[in-house]
């Protein structure tokens, strides 16, 4: 088949079907970067470093730390950047905003729960990923018992699409969990997301407001991948980040020893 015939063949496919074949979300297809300046990217990368090191700092303390590190920035601008990055201190605090009233908030089911086997509890979260001259977001699904990463997706926007793709992939490849835990982000409280779990009789659990510590397993993974891979390699593009993060997660699941797992690797524990 000639190149022109190939192009003509695929041009007949709907945009949705083409995105499915390329493993892209439609929102990312139409997304245009805001055009952040280099100093803004450098600032966000420094905020990410501070938050990863000291996740209990709120925006006021992050602001002071930025000033100590030589960044000339106001407090409100610090808060704006942390909101763009999806960052929030992990300590409990009063509810200061109202979420989407159409989204149901589920109770936290993991308090004092003894985790004894794979697929008893899965959880998910989104984190900011730095790149040279830009950034993207990573969502992952983790099994609490084995610490295994069951699925993940990268996106240049924090839409629901790539979160649903990660959940669908995990549910397709592995036995369903008894409980699925997340924070109260709009991506995870959306009806389209929770419907995938409820239709399979999976119990939905959500962290308390401002309590990222309730989802501690995924938070520990974020620290590992950032300190052991992302900060070291400083990926140049989304394409390079996809390749590098795929390699790291393969290493993490199949080769990285965990003291908490009696120095076994996650997949050996998961598939035991």
In which band, very low, low, confident or very high, does the pLDDT at 213 lie, cut at 50, 70 and 90? low
Share of the chain above pLDDT 70, in %: 79
Residue 137 has pLDDT above 80, yes or no: yes
- Average model confidence (pLDDT) for the chain? 83
Nearest CA among 156, 152, 157 for reference residue 169: 152
* 97, pLDDT greater than 50: no
Tokens 């280099």 belong to 38
User: CATH fold of 121-270, please?
Assistant: Nucleotidyltransferase; domain 5 (3.30.420)
Grade residue 30 by pLDDT with cuts at 50, 70 and 90: very low
Query: Of 42-46, 172-176, 267-271, which range is least confident?
Result: 42-46
Question: What mean pLDDT do residues 171-185 have?
Answer: 96
Cα–Cα distance between 70 and 246 in angstroms, integer? 34
- The rounded distance, in Å, linking the Cα atoms of 272 and 270 is 6
Task: State pLDDT tens for residues 108-127.
Answer: 999 999 999 999 999 999 99
Which positions ≥6 away from 148 have C-beta within 8 Å?
A: 118, 142, 253, 266, 267, 269, 270
CA distance 272 to 147: 13
* Largest Cα–Cα separation, the chain: 62
Report H helices in the chain. Answer: 3-11, 15-22, 26-30, 38-53, 59-68, 75-85, 161-173, 186-189, 191-198, 216-225, 231-233, 238-254, 266-270
pLDDT at 232 over 90: yes
Q: Which two tokens stand for residue 16?
A: 């949705």
Give me the pLDDT at residue 6, please. Answer: 44
**Helices and strands per DSSP (H, E), number in the chain:** 13, 5
CB atoms inside a 10 Å sphere around CB 9? 10
% of the chain residues with pLDDT over 90: 54
Residue ranges of domains in the chain: 121-270
How is residue 130 written in tokens?
């730095």
Q: Is the pLDDT reported for residue 18 higher than 90?
A: no
Mean pLDDT value across residues 74-79: 90
Predicted local distance difference test score (pLDDT) of residue 125: 94
User: Cα–Cα distance between 72 and 78 in angstroms, integer?
Assistant: 10
Q: What is the pLDDT of residue 158?
A: 87
* Arithmetic mean of pLDDT, 82-111: 67
pLDDT class of 188 with cuts at 50, 70, 90 = very high
Quote the CA–CA distance of 93 and 100 in Å, as a whole number: 19
pLDDT over 50 at 94, yes or no: no
> Which pLDDT value is given to residue 5?
52
Whether 4 has a pLDDT exceeding 90, the answer reads no
Q: What is the pTM of this model?
A: 0.75
Which residues is 180 bridged to in the sheet?
122, 204
- Cα 22 to Cα 217: distance, rounded to the nearest angstrom: 31
d(CA 140, CA 152): 4
pLDDT tens profile 43-71: 998 998 888 888 778 889 999 999 999 99
């Amino acid at each position: 088949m000639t190149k022109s015939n190939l192009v003509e063949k695929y041009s007949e496919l709907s945009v949705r079907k083409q995105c499915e074949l390329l493993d892209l979300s439609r929102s990312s297809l139409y997304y245009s970067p805001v055009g952040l300046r280099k100093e803004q990217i450098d600032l966000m990368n420094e905020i990410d470093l501070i938050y990863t090191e000291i996740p209990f700092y709120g925006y006021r303390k992050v602001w002071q730390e930025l000033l100590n590190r030589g960044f000339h920035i106001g407090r409100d601008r610090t808060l704006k950047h942390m909101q763009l990055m999806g960052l929030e201190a992990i300590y409990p605090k009063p509810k200061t905003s109202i979420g989407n009233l159409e989204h149901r908030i589920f109770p936290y089911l993991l308090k004092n729960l003894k985790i004894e086997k794979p697929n008893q509890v899965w959880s998910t979260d989104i984190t900011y990923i730095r790149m040279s001259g830009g950034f993207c977001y990573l969502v992952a699904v983790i099994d609490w018992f084995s610490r295994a990463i069951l699925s993940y997706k990268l996106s240049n926007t924090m839409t629901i699409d790539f979160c649903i793709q990660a959940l669908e992939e995990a549910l397709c490849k592995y036995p369903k969990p008894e409980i699925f835990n997340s924070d109260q982000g709009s991506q995870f409280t959306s009806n389209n997301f929770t419907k995938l779990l409820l239709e399979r009789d999976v119990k939905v659990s959500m962290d308390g407001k401002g309590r990222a510590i309730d989802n501690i397993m995924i938070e520990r993974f974020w620290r590992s991948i950032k300190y052991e891979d992302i900060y070291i390699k400083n990926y140049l593009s989304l394409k390079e980040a996809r390749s590098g993060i795929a390699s790291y997660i393969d290493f993490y699941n199949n080769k990285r020893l965990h003291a908490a797992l009696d120095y076994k690797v996650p997949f050996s524990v998961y598939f035991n």
